[in-house]
Amino acid sequence: MKDLVFVGVQSIAHRDALDMLKGIFQVDTIEPTAKALRARIQRETPDLILLTLGNDAVEESMMINLLNMDFINIPVVTLGTEYESLPYNKYYETTQFEKITTPFTKKGLLDVCCNMAGLDPDSYVVEFQKHILIVDDNALTLRNIKKMLDDKYSVAVAVSAVQAFTSIGRRKPDLILLDYAMPVTDGKKMYEMLQADVEYAKIPVVFLTSMADEHVVVELLSLKPAGYFLKPPKQEKLLETIEKII
């Protein structure tokens, strides 16, 4: 496991992101001073340094210069706003430095850190994100909803119940977004098939439907799914609902 040194004060967002990175890196946190950074590197050279910006400007500048002059072989990722990154633009022109601008996504952080450390980010995304399966016979719906969820979740899609069960066999999802009205095997039938399988019965299912008729909604709710949405769903509400469920 590669060694990552986090330099700075951990905010809630930082702690959440570091919890994800701990599955890939051995993470060590140190205070944001040039003295602490030099001592840590001399004790053991890390594979990657994740340096937060916006703390002490003088110490920050000293750390950047230290890394660029004395430890040029250690890749560095800075984490801060566009304004906080501005003084260091010349360093980002080199291969040693890369920046992540806040607000950031976990996937964005994962991609940059893995790339800088010489790792394949695609090998790790699946492990550290909740997995959602979207089942809908409409390709446009699949594409739009997948785009809404991609930054936060690992997403698979299926255009039929047959494809869906194949996908579930490869990796069991944490949640299924299921079109209620599909040809051949509709959402209701697929839901009943899931409920009949001991291995899959506990997977939460949220129905998607374009029909707002009262009898459809009543029938849908009688199945006691984890929820339902009228298509097209609003991204903010969809993400909020998913977060409550998983």
Show me where the domains of the chain are located: 2-125, 129-245
The fold of the 129-245 domain, in CATH, is: Rossmann fold (3.40.50)
Q: How far apart are CA 71 and CA 185, in angstroms?
A: 60
Q: What is the pLDDT of residues 211-240, one digit of tens each?
A: 766 777 788 788 899 998 988 999 999 999
Q: 35 pLDDT band (50/70/90 cuts)?
A: very high
Q: How far apart are CA 193 and CA 186, in angstroms?
A: 11
Q: Return the number of other C-beta atoms located less than 10 Å from residue 44's C-beta.
A: 9
Q: What's residue 21's pLDDT?
A: 86
For 117-140, give the secondary structure using H, E and C: CCCCHHHCHHHHCCEEEEECCCHH
How many CA atoms lie within 13 Å of 192's alpha carbon, on the beta-carbon side? 8
User: Which pair of tokens denotes residue 7?
Assistant: 């330099």
Q: 125 pLDDT band (50/70/90 cuts)?
A: low
Q: How far apart are CA 99 and CA 120, in angstroms?
A: 18
User: Which pair of tokens denotes residue 242?
Assistant: 């998913």
- pLDDT over 70 for what percent of the chain? 96
Query: Is residue 196 classed exposed, middle or buried when 0-12, 13-18 and 19+ CB atoms within 10 A define those classes?
Result: exposed
Domain 2-125 class, CATH top level: alpha beta
* Confidence check: pLDDT of 163 > 60: yes
Q: 10 pLDDT band (50/70/90 cuts)?
A: confident
Q: 15 pLDDT band (50/70/90 cuts)?
A: confident
Largest CA distance in the chain: 71
Q: What is the pLDDT of residues 133-153, one digit of tens each?
A: 999 999 999 999 999 998 888
* Confidence check: pLDDT of 126 > 60: no
* Confidence check: pLDDT of 182 > 90: no
Q: What's residue 246's pLDDT?
A: 86
Question: Tokens 């439907």 correspond to what residue?
Answer: 209
Q: What's residue 128's pLDDT?
A: 62
Average pLDDT of the residues of the chain: 90
Mean pLDDT of the region 82-100: 96
Q: Same topology for domains 2-125 and 129-245, yes or no?
A: yes
